[in-house]
Each structure stands twice: as structure tokens, then as C-alpha cells.
Chains A and B, each alone.
Chain A
Amino acid sequence: MAAPSYPAWVTRWVSGQWRNKKRPPTLRPPRALALADKVANRREQSTEATCITEMSVMMACWKQNDFNDVPCAEEIRAFYDCVAKAEKERRNQNEDTLSSRGNLPSSKVNKLLKRFPQITHYV
């Protein structure tokens, strides 16, 4: 929609022409005062690295035991479990629900909004 055309009396009334208080036209919307059917494109924030604590625990164990794997078997197993869990979560993450941080990428939001557009006309 182009700049909406309000009736002329609205513009003259708002401008204060009938009250001797001329002020610059306040209603100057360059675009329609209605919600658009899309959101601006936002750069998607990258997720954090997973399993950092497990990895640092395992590396501390390595440093103590001269990088021998046998005494560090517990830590290594914990690291593997964490990695497997993170991988499974990444796979199961349904893209249509909210991500782990509660955001929805702008493309998904636009798709949803397109399905339910703003009605700006008389039906």
C-alpha cells in the first residue's frame, strides 16, 4: 500500500489550522500504518560450543597421567556421552519450534506470517 490518504479534514484538523495553532503536519507516515507481513532479516546468532566442561576435565586428566588413556577412561566415557547427547539433540531439534535460546529465525517467522496475513482491505 502506498502512503495512505486520509480524508482532507483529518489532515487539516491535526495540523491545527482551525485552532490558530499551525504546526507542521504531524501525520507524515511514509508507509502504511499497518503491520507488514514480514520481519527484517536478522543475522542468526551462532550457538555455543557444546561439551566444553567435559573436554577440559578430560584434558586435565590427560595432563596428570601423561596422556595415557587407561587411567582416564571415566572422563573419556563422560566426554563421549556428552558428545552423543549433543549430537542427538541437534538431530532431533525440530526447526519449527523455538530454538534452545527461545528465538525463531527470521525466515521461519516470515513463513508463518505469510500464512496469516494482515487484512488491510474490507471483506
Chain B
Amino acid sequence: MAAPSAAGLGRRLRAWLPRIMPVRWSRYNPSYLEPEVKKESHQKPLEELTEEERELMELKAVRPIKAAPPSLSSSVFSDPMISKFTNMMMKSGNKVLARNLMSQTLEAIKRKQLEKYHKAPENEKETIECNPYVIFHQALKNCQPIIGLSNITRGGKTYQVPVPLTDNRKRFLAMKWLITECRENKHRRTLMPEKLSQELLQAFNNEGPVIKRKHVLHKMAEANRAYAHFRWW
């Protein structure tokens, strides 16, 4: 009597609680505006603003503004791709560790490139890229697959059909392949910055296991190109 009703009440309360407590997403009133993080937009003098910007400024005086998430930064050193990569490297929410690993990786890349730079003869010095951010972006671009495979079932059989990928999916696959390659196929005792910097430098030069994996995917798509008509989008 009392016990079942208390248990039922507790279950119902727990089911109702996610409605009032935000769980993994934010529930602002629609009248809340997005925060403006870029410094340049705040430093513009009043005369240079266009009509919409003036209206937006007046709106901001009246409406409340959402809290800026901690991942949003106005620093010149923040890079959305690097943040995404750090988040993908993160395990169990340990962002501090992931960020340290990322900065150590970039430092390792810089050190390796500088060593190469100082050892190279004079005429080759310009060709060596020392900026770790440039190397990171170029390596990621080289790792992105151009076409993907998706499972489509026709008449009971599942076929692997070549399918174009969206930009987000390409970026995600490139980052995922890099991280998986570093975690699984390396010697147990090597540290992540060392493994990652080696992988990134290899990908920058269009060689290495991640590029090979991309080529394998392309080859499978090319082999299955007869099934391309099974797509309907």
C-alpha cells in the first residue's frame, strides 16, 4: 500500500525530472539571443554599422542573452577544428588531459619540423612547413575520403553502394581514423603526442596508414560502382 505507491511515485518523479532539468542540451526561452564573441564586431564604431546591425544592437539592449558555452572562445589561438579534434580525443570528460595532449602534439610537430629545417640545405629551407596548425589542417584535408559506402538493402540482399559524403561526415571520418590508428596500431608504450605527431606528419606528406585506409575505401567504392544506381538521393 504505502511501499508500492512510494516506489511508483519515485519512478514517476524520476521520469518527470528530465523535463525540468536540462540533460545534455540547453532549453532557453526562444527570446534569448546568441552571444557575440568576436572582438572586431564590438570594436566597430557606430557609424560603420549597417541597418540590420543597428537593429540587432537595439534588440540586444532589450532581450536577454544566452550564456556563452565554455568551448566558445574569443582568443586568436582558438581553432574550431582543433577543438573538435580535442573533444574526439577526450575520454570520460577529461578535457584537461585531452587539451594537454593536443598542445604537446602540436609542440612535437613543431620540434620535428624545426629539426628538419635546420638540417636541410639552404635551397630546401623554404619548402619545409613549420607551422603546426597548417600541417594539422593539411593532414586532415588529405585524410578526408571523397566518397563513402552505405548499406542499401534490395531484395533481401545488402549491397555496399558508393555514396557522396557531407563535409561534416568527411571531417569526422578523417579525425576518427587518425585517432583510432594512433590508439590501436601502435606500440603500447609510445605516448599519444608522439604517435599523433608522427601520423599527422605522414598524412601531411600523403603517406602512412590513414591515407592507405582512405585509398582502400576509394578502391571499394570503385569496385562497387555498378551499384551506384541503387541510391535514390
Write the residues of chain A forming the contact surface with B, with a CB cutoff of 8 angstroms. 46-52, 55-56, 58-59, 62-63, 67-70, 76, 79, 83, 90
Residue contact B232 to A59, C-beta cutoff 8 Å? no
CB <8 Å contact, B146 and A47: no
| Given A47-B232, A50-B233, A69-B142; 13 other pairs, CB 8 A cutoff | A48-B229, A49-B229, A49-B230, A50-B231, A51-B164, A52-B229, A55-B147, A58-B146, A67-B215, A67-B219, A79-B147, A79-B164, A83-B164
B residues 149-205 touching A (CB-CB < 8 Å): 162, 164
Is there a chain A Cβ closer than 8 Å to B108's Cβ? Answer: no
Q: Is B222 an interface residue (CB 8 A)?
A: yes
Are the CB atoms of A46 and B218 closer together than 8 Å?
A: no
Docked CA distance A64–B172 (Å): 28
Count the A-B residue pairs with Cβ separation under 8 angstroms: how many? 45
> How far is A83 from B229 in the complex, measured between Cα atoms in Å?
15
B→A interface (CB under 8 Å) = 142, 146-147, 162, 164, 206, 215, 218-219, 221-222, 225, 228-233
Please indicate the chain B residues that have their CB under 8 angstroms from the CB of A52 in the complex.
228-229
Residues of chain A with a CB closer than 8 A to B231's CB: 49-50
CB closest chain-A residue, reference B232: A46
Contact of A59 among B142, B164, B222 (CB under 8 A): B222
CB distance from A36 to the nearest CB of B (A): 31
Q: Is the CB of B232 within 8 A of A56?
A: no
Decide: A49 near B164, CB < 8 A? Known: A67-B215, A67-B219. Answer: no
Chain B residues with CB under 8 Å of A46's CB are 232
Contact present for A55 and B218 (CB under 8 Å):
no
Report the nearest A residue to B144, measured CB to CB.
A69
Q: How far is the CA of A47 from the CA of B222 in the complex (A)?
A: 23
A residues less than 8 Å from B228 (CB atoms): 49, 52, 55-56
Judge whether A79 and B146 touch: CB under 8 Å: yes
| A55 & B162 in contact (Cβ 8 Å cutoff) | yes
Q: Measured between C-beta atoms, what is the minimum distance from A117 to chain B in Å?
A: 34
B80 → chain A closest CB, angstroms: 21
Closest Cβ of chain A to B67, distance in Å, is: 32
Chain B hits for A79, CB < 8 A: 146-147, 164
What are 21 A-B contacts with C-beta separation under 8 Å?
Answer: A47-B232, A48-B232, A49-B230, A49-B232, A49-B233, A50-B231, A50-B233, A55-B162, A55-B225, A55-B228, A56-B225, A58-B147, A59-B221, A62-B218, A67-B215, A67-B218, A67-B219, A70-B206, A79-B146, A79-B147, A83-B164
